[in-house]
Amino acid sequence: MRFVVLGASEFALRCAGAIIDSRAEVRALISTPPHARPNNSTDVSAFASERRIPYYEMEDVNVPDSANLIRELSPDYILSAWHKILKREILGIPRFGCIGTHPTELPFNRGRHPLHWLIALGISNTTLTFFRMDEGVDSGNVLLQIPFQIAPDDCIDDAVSAMNEAAYEGTKSLCARLLRDPDYAGTKQDHTVANSWRKRTPHDVTIDLRMSADIIRRTIQSFAPPYPCANLLFEGHMIKVSRASIAALTTELAPDQLRRLEPGRVIAVAGNTVRVKVDDAIMDLECRGPLPSRVFEAKYIHPPSKYLAEWPRVLAA
């Protein structure tokens, strides 16, 4: 079996490694140029060099030059971890078709930014689905599903690591299946129960201190490094928050004392950490980079709408 693997992340390399360990052939690894790589990208070229696999970079895999190059590689399959939809011409190149992946139990939770949404929504049990790609979005026949978990305290990089482990095991299992039946069609999805997640925007990772501690924690964990971090607006500043925890003071106060504190009340500021009252707790918000000097004097951090009214271009989407 001859595979072309598309992708710029560790996920693509785990898939490629599993193909090699299954005694199949990786005809080429195709990544994007450095300026076009996503936040979670890795050096695919180093892996390709070490394994002596042909390596190419393409900014757009759907243009004619890219299609011609892939066609010359004569793949039996394309395994795609590409960050954009493959168009009909590319889908028709491999002898047996294109294989896509999605870290949810398809047909549920198709669409954009699935790992981010899983964390933000507090969904711990999920599945890495391998499917035959068609012209829809995550809509092709299911070939294989590998369960994995996202723990409540996991940040996005932890979820990526769990998904990558599932990618290796799943690719090995899938290769064994395809060796027995190269034309394996899989199982048709029930489109009547499918839902699709929308693209996340900066608004989805902007903290409102009227939120519960759990929602704030999940929002921050879903966009923690290597992603750009959640946003906390204060006057003319967009403070980047990388981690959050409930302060011990939460349990030291009587429930009525805690409830009397308004959300946004600043309790203390030290270093790059803001201790602040949220809806149902006092939280320590660990920020990336130095804090604005006025935060150290502030009594309150107000809801984002107050600052946006004074600063209309912030978070324009």
- Cβ proximity of 96 and 182 under 8 Å: yes
Reply yes or no on whether the pLDDT at 311 is more than 70.
Answer: no
Reply yes or no on whether the pLDDT at 315 is more than 60.
Answer: no
Task: Record the tokens describing residue 45, joined without a space.
Answer: 């070229």
> pLDDT class for 169, splitting at 50, 70, 90?
very high
pLDDT recorded at residue 86: 94
Looking at domain 202-310, its CATH superfamily turns out to be Formyl transferase, C-terminal domain (3.10.25.10)
pLDDT recorded at residue 37: 79
**Could you give the CA distance from residue 64 to residue 73 in angstroms, rounded to a whole number?**
14
- Cβ proximity of 167 and 128 under 8 Å: yes
Comma-separated ranges of CATH 3.40.50.170 domains in the chain:
2-197
Average pLDDT of the chain, as a whole number: 95
Q: What are phi and psi of 92, to 5 degrees?
A: -90, -5
Of 100, 54, 47, whose CA–CA distance to 73 is shortest?
54
Q: What is the pTM of this model?
A: 0.92
Give the contacts of 145 (CB within 8 A, at least 6 positions apart).
105, 106, 127, 128, 129, 130
Q: How buried is 169 (Cβ within 10 angstroms: 0-12 exposed, 13-18 middle, 19+ buried)?
A: middle
The per-residue pLDDT for range 11-36, each reduced to its tens digit, is 999 999 999 999 999 999 999 998 77
Task: Record the tokens describing residue 146, joined without a space.
Answer: 């590998």
At the topology level, CATH places domain 2-197 in Rossmann fold (3.40.50)
Mean pLDDT of 125-130: 98
Comma-separated ranges of CATH 3.10.25.10 domains in the chain:
202-310
